[in-house]
Copies of this chain bind each other. A is one copy, B any other.
């Protein structure tokens, strides 16, 4: 009937997304230990006693890649028997979004390397991490369209072109410039700043920031974000 079954262990793994001018990238760690020593894998590790799942994910990210204070959400729990050669180990996978510009990823303290790879061009991965990345990417593509999480990937001040490029890269299709601007500005969630971008070899574009406060107020009145 109902007995304790302590043969299952619990890990968290994180799919951390970042974006540069041309690519959506994911953060991987080179494993130092068996199994899969030397292979690339998602940052993650075992949940510790007394620790919550999100807490464990944030700790692992901080320890292994030096990234803190980022958008992070639970993704899915992978528990197929056989997914880990060490035994029955389930992974509560999370996905996270960081501003590549802010977060210089440092090498992990224990000399394991951390590196960014384009989501479609990464080395073979340990465990079922390939599948986890797939699921995370589909979730991101779905969620970015009806929740304003894309801003988590951009610098706090950004141009409309950067924002458009973000959506084009994540959704993998091109968008019409005028329609995109019309729609995003009509939502009233962007604040036009008294500042323009710098260091570009052409007319400098206006900078904007996302109005978080306003978004939360609109949410309560039943507002629906949608790109």
Interface residues of A (CB under 8 A from B): 1-10, 33, 45-53, 74, 76-77, 79-81, 86, 88, 90, 92, 110
Checking B5, B53, B88 against A79 with a beta-carbon cut-off of 8 angstroms, the contacting residue is B53
What are 25 A-B interface contacts by the 8 Å CB criterion? A1-B33, A1-B45, A2-B33, A4-B86, A5-B9, A5-B10, A5-B46, A5-B47, A6-B6, A8-B9, A8-B49, A10-B79, A10-B90, A47-B79, A47-B90, A50-B81, A50-B88, A51-B81, A52-B79, A52-B80, A53-B77, A53-B79, A53-B90, A79-B92, A90-B92
User: What is the copy number of this chain in the assembly?
Assistant: 2
Given A74-B76, A92-B90 in contact, is the A7-B81 Cβ separation under 8 Å?
Answer: no
A53 neighbours in B (Cβ, 8 Å): 77, 79, 90
A6 neighbours in B (Cβ, 8 Å): 6, 9
